C-alpha cells in the first residue's frame, strides 16, 4: 500500500526569469499508519540547465556555476519527474514561501498539485517566535532529528530537508486541511512589522491605526489588520485582501 506523502521542494535559480531554475531539491514527509508524520529517506537534488548564464548575484547565494550545469537537463524535462514521482502517493507539495516555487512549478508540470506554504503556517502555529525565515526557524526551534550536516550547505536539497522538519512538526500540531487553508490565504502576521506600532500585537493597536494598516499595499499586512478588526466586531468597508499566492499562470 502506498503511503501518503508530501514532497517538500526547494529551488535555486539563475535569475528571475520563468524557466531559470538551476537546481531542484526535495525531501518527503510521510504519514505513518498511526496518522503521525515523519521524514523518510526519499530526498535528492538535480542540477538543471537554466538556458542562460547564471548571474553573479545568484551564484553568491547558492554557489552553482555555469560549469556545474553543463549537460544537465532543462527545467521542463526534469521537473515532472520530481513533482509527480513514480509510485504516486504525493498528496501535496510544500515549500517555505511557496509562492516562489509556484512561479516555476506550474500546474502543467506539477499536475495541479496542492501547495503548503510553511512560512504562512509557521506564523499561525508558532506566533511567539521572532523571525520566520527557514533557517531562523531551524535555530529558534532546533527540530528533533535534524542532522546538522545534511542541512548544509544552503542549497536546494539541504534547504528542503530543513523545511521538511518544520512541516513534519506542523502536520503533527495541526491538520493537513488547516495547513492547506492557511496556505491559500495571505500571511497572518503575529505582530505589526513596521511603523509607529512596530512589534506590538494586533490587540494592542488602536482601531484608527488598524484601519490605516488595512489599506496598506502589502497584502499580508492588510489581511492581518482586517483580521483583527473583524475579531473586534468591526467590519470595514474595504476591498477584500488578494491572496499572495494568486494564480500566475
Note the pLDDT of residue 240.
Answer: 52
The β-bridge partners of 206 are: none
- Residue of 234 and 33 predicted with greater confidence: 33
Question: What digits encode the pLDDT tens for the residues 60-118?
Answer: 999 999 999 999 999 999 999 999 998 889 999 999 999 999 999 999 999 999 999 99
Nearest residue to 202 via CA among 185, 215, 190, 193: 190
Strands 5-13 and 21-31, by their bridges, are antiparallel
**Percentage with pLDDT > 70 across the chain:** 92
Q: What is the pTM of this model?
A: 0.91
**pLDDT, mean over the chain:** 93
Q: Cell triple for residue 7? A: 514532497
Note the pLDDT of residue 3.
Answer: 83
**Mean pLDDT on 123-152:** 98
Calculate the CA 15 to chain-centre distance: 19
Q: Cell triple for residue 12? A: 535555486
Helices (H), ranges, 84-198: 98-104, 107-110, 118-125, 134-141, 156-171, 176-183
Note the pLDDT of residue 249.
Answer: 37
Note the pLDDT of residue 19.
Answer: 73
Question: What digits encode the pLDDT tens for the residues 197-244?
Answer: 999 999 999 999 999 999 999 999 999 999 999 999 986 555 555 554
Domains and their CATH numbers in the chain: 5-183 (3.30.420.10), 187-249 (no CATH)
Note the pLDDT of residue 87.
Answer: 82
DSSP state at residue 66? G
Omega of the bond prior to 153 within 30 degrees of 0, cis?
yes
Note the pLDDT of residue 88.
Answer: 84
18: pLDDT confidence band, cut at 50, 70 and 90? low
User: φ, ψ for residue 43 (rounded to 5)?
Assistant: -145, 160
Note the pLDDT of residue 248.
Answer: 42
Note the pLDDT of residue 239.
Answer: 52
**Percentage with pLDDT > 90 across the chain:** 88
Nearest residue to 185 via CA among 127, 232, 241, 229: 241
Amino acid at each position: 500500500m502506498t503511503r501518503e506523502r508530501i514532497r517538500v521542494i526547494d529551488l535555486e535559480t539563475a535569475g528571475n526569469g520563468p524557466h531559470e531554475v538551476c537546481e531542484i531539491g526535495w525531501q518527503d514527509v510521510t504519514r505513518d499508519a498511526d496518522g503521525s508524520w515523519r521524514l523518510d529517506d526519499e530526498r535528492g537534488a538535480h542540477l538543471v540547465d537554466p538556458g542562460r548564464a547564471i548571474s553573479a548575484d545568484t551564484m553568491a547565494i547558492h554557489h552553482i556555476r555555469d560549469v556545474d550545469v553543463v549537460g544537465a537537463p532543462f527545467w521542463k524535462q526534469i521537473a515532472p519527474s520530481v513533482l509527480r514521482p513514480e509510485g504516486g502517493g504525493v498528496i501535496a507539495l510544500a515549500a517555505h514561501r511557496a509562492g516562489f516555487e509556484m512561479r516555476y512549478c506550474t500546474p502543467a508540470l506539477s499536475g495541479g498539485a496542492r501547495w503548503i506554504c510553511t512560512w504562512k503556517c509557521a506564523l499561525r502555529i508558532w506566533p511567539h517566535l521572532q523571525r520566520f525565515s527557514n533557517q531562523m526557524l531551524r535555530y529558534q526551534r532546533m527540530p528533533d532529528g535534524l542532522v546538522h550536516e545534511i542541512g548544509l550547505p544552503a542549497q536546494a536539497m539541504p534547504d528542503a530537508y530543513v523545511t521538511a522538519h518544520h512541516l513534519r512538526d506542523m502536520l503533527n500540531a495541526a491538520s493537513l486541511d488547516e495547513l492547506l487553508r492557511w496556505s491559500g490565504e495571505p500571511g497572518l502576521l503575529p505582530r505589526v512589522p513596521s511603523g509607529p506600532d512596530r512589534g506590538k500585537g494586533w490587540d494592542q493597536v488602536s482601531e484608527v491605526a488598524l484601519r490605516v494598516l488595512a489599506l496598506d499595499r502589502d497584502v499580508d499586512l492588510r489581511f492581518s489588520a482586517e483580521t483583527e478588526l473583524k475579531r473586534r466586531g468591526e467590519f470595514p468597508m474595504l476591498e477584500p485582501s488578494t491572496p499572495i499566492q494568486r494564480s500566475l499562470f
